[in-house]
Amino acid sequence: MTPGVLLIWLLITVQVLVVTGRAVLLKRRHRAERTSPGPRHPAAAWGLWGTATIAAVLVYATADTLRDTHVNCAAPHSGSRP
């Protein structure tokens, strides 16, 4: 497994754990405070989810680009140069 793919899976795992933990905390708080809604925690959780998803996509795109660049630079040039 390449380092880029490993980093992507690590980010996705952390993302899922953070959002799941936050959802559990929100559920507990909601049970305790049924009378007052409090701040917009669900919006913050969705924002965190979106941020982590975008970060994972950017890491994947960067790793893919670097892999392609590395392959193209390492390939021997055949023929004459213009």
Strands (E), the chain: none
Cβ-contact 11, 55 below 8 angstroms = yes
Comparison of pLDDT for 47 and 71, the residue scoring more: 47
9 has pLDDT over 60: yes
Q: How confident is the model at residue 71 (pLDDT cuts 50, 70, 90)?
A: low
Supply the pLDDT for residue 28: 80
Query: Encoding tokens for residue 71?
Result: 């392959």
**pLDDT one-digit tens code per residue, 17-65:** 888 888 888 778 777 666 555 567 777 778 888 888 888 888 888 888 8
pTM score of the predicted model: 0.44
Rg of the chain in Å (alpha carbons): 21
